[in-house]
């Protein structure tokens, strides 16, 4: 029987694997793909000590480090997690694992606009994380899509870099916190366009512009889609692990969920609103310590 099965192979899962190995736990990681959303980050300048590394290169460094500890990194898809007495059964496409604990680190996806060109230009002008990629757009023209607090905060953030920021929202009143909305309207280099939907992203090698359903065409260099996240909690929910109002797995500061023996770390958890490599890796490390202590006591 495993001490812990880590589901997910991104920053949280890999950091958890490193620390679980250091805590001498019998550990297996299962993921469909290693690197997670990190792989699609074309330029990471927020992993301290590695200026300008690509997401894919950073993830390769993480994977290589974990492999030094001989932790099995299984490429497989988890189909279900179920309780069996005090332990758990993790069923994948290929086999079935018995384990004393389970750590969910299988992350989230960004909600997509689902319009023409969005996928084609992903990472080439289409972005889903302004904290990650906003600084690339110094003196450029960008658009933020959305009306939530995240969209407003993204607009404010980008206005510090970009020459001009469009905020495009389908509704007639921003849903953002009033103070954020007020700030957005006060910024000279921000133009808010209400009651409009993006219908197409176009470009050549990179994004060159977007078309709205109001027939308006906006020439720009980048767009930031801030219309929400989809945490990948199906497996956890079927196990009756509690999620918060936004759909993220609810954890305490030690990464415990509501269920004994089940832990969560990284983007899938609600530990922090700052969804970054550094926070995910930290949460994974903390989860490893918590699991270690849990196993000492049970």
Smallest separation, CB 281 to its own copies (Å):
5
Residue whose C-alpha is closest to residue 224's, from 138, 95, 123, 297: 123
Where do runs of H (alpha helix) occur along 136-177? 149-159
Q: Which is nearer to its own copies, 14 or 243 (CB)?
A: 14
For the bound state, the minimum distance from the C-beta of residue 223 to its own copies, rounded and expressed in Å, comes to 20
Least spacing, CB of residue 82 vs its own copies, in Å: 28
**Which C-beta is closer to its own copies: that of 87 or that of 289?**
289
CB of 106 or CB of 180, closer to its own copies: 180
CA proximity to 276, closest of 29, 20, 9, 37: 37
How far, CA to CA in Å, does 248 sit from each of 140, 157, 276? 34, 24, 15
| Rounded least distance, CB 120 to its own copies, Å | 28
CB–CB of 106/93 below 8 Å?
A: no
User: Residue 284 CB, nearest distance to its own copies (Å)?
Assistant: 9
Nearer to its own copies, 138 or 217 (CB): 138
CB of 250 to its own copies, least distance (A): 12
Q: Which is nearer to its own copies, 79 or 278 (CB)?
A: 278
Chain contacts with its own copies (rule: CB under 8 A): 11, 14-15, 18-19, 22-24, 45-46, 48-51, 58, 61-62, 64-66, 68, 131, 135, 153, 156-157, 160-161, 179-180, 183, 253-254, 271-274, 276, 278-279, 281-283, 285-286, 289, 292-293, 296-297
Please, which residues have CB within 8 angstroms of residue 142's CB and are 6 or more apart in sequence? 158, 162, 164, 165, 166, 220, 221, 222, 223, 224
96 or 272: CB nearest its own copies: 272
Stretch (H or E) spanning 182: helix 178-186
Q: Report the Cα–Cα distance between both ends of the chain, in Å, rounded.
A: 15
Q: How far apart are CA 45 and CA 63, in angstroms?
A: 19
């Amino acid at each position: 029987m495993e001490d812990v099965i880590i589901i997910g192979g991104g920053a949280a899962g890999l950091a958890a694997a490193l620390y679980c190995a250091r805590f001498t736990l019998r550990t297996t990681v299962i993921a469909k793909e290693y690197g997670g959303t990190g792989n699609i980050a074309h330029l990471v300048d927020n992993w301290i000590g590695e200026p300008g590394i690509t997401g894919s290169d950073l993830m390769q460094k993480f994977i290589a480090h974990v492999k030094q500890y001989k932790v099995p990194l299984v490429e497989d898809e988890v189909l279900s997690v179920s309780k069996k007495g005090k332990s758990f059964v993790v069923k994948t496409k290929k086999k079935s694992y018995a384990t004393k604990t389970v750590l969910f680190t299988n992350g989230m996806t960004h909600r997509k606009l689902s319009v023409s060109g969005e996928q084609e230009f992903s990472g080439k002008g289409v972005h889903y994380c302004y904290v990650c990629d906003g600084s690339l757009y110094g003196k450029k023209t960008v658009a933020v899509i959305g009306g939530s607090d995240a969209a407003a905060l993204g607009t404010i953030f980008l206005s510090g870099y970009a020459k001009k920021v469009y905020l495009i929202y389908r509704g007639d009143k921003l849903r953002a916190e009033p103070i954020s909305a007020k700030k957005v309207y006060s910024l000279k280099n921000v133009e808010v366009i209400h009651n409009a939907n993006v219908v197409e992203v176009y470009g050549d090698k990179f994004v060159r512009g977007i078309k709205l359903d109001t027939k308006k065409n906006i020439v720009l260099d980048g767009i930031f889609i801030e219309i929400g996240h989809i945490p990948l909690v199906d497996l956890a929910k079927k196990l009756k692990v509690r999620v918060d109002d936004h759909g993220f797995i609810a954890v305490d500061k030690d990464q415990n969920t509501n269920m004994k023996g089940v832990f969560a770390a990284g983007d899938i958890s609600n530990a922090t609103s700052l969804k970054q490599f550094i926070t995910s890796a930290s949460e994974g490390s903390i989860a490893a310590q918590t699991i270690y202590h849990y196993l000492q006591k049970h």
